[in-house]
Structure 1
């Protein structure tokens, strides 16, 4: 743990996504959708990490904006998998809840950073 809320939560979320991906592949869930989920779900944390080492406030905003977009995409894939019955409803709801929390944190960070930039 780094002590940085968004870094820690996005990293833990990526680990859950990776475990979910392995489970889906073992259970023959649509391979392309599983890959899309893996890409977007792990990209959130990667962009947060890049943002934390940004060279400017503008770069920080850009990287966290990408992380936010990836979180929205991840939520879409999770909803699709849950609602199609490819993953258990309870598991999907738990993952979506965590994803929504990441979206809320990222949105708050971006709003505050943009307001302080003006």
Structure 2
């Protein structure tokens, strides 16, 4: 569970930096959209895994 929380924070931080790169015009709109969409998908997977893990642990108690 702890490792999933760390992964979530790291992904959120990556999304923040991707946004900064776009705002400073280091990334084009197309590059930003592609990279940001991938990062958001990863974040969704991490969050859904956290939810599933939490539910599993709760039901096993």
Take 1:106 and 1:81, find their aligned partners in 2: how far apart are those partners? Answer: 23
- Which consecutive aligned stretches of 4+ in structure 1 deviate over 6 angstroms post-superposition? none
Q: RMSD between aligned alpha carbons? A: 0.7
Of structures 1 and 2, the one with the larger relative CO (CA 8 A, separation 6+) is 2
Which stretch of structure 1 is more off in the superposition, 97-106 or 83-92? 83-92
**For 1:85, what is the secondary structure of its paired residue?**
coil
Selected match of 1:93 from 33, 41, 46? 33
TM-score by length of 2: 0.89
For structure 2, the 5+ residue unaligned runs are none
**Superposition pairs for residues 1-118 of structure 1, below 5 Å?**
61-118=1-58
Q: Normalising by structure 1, what TM-score?
A: 0.48
- Which structure 1 residue ranges, 5 or more long, are not aligned? 1-60
In the alignment, the residues of structure 1 paired with residue 22 and residue 33 of structure 2 have an alpha-carbon distance, to the nearest angstrom, of 8
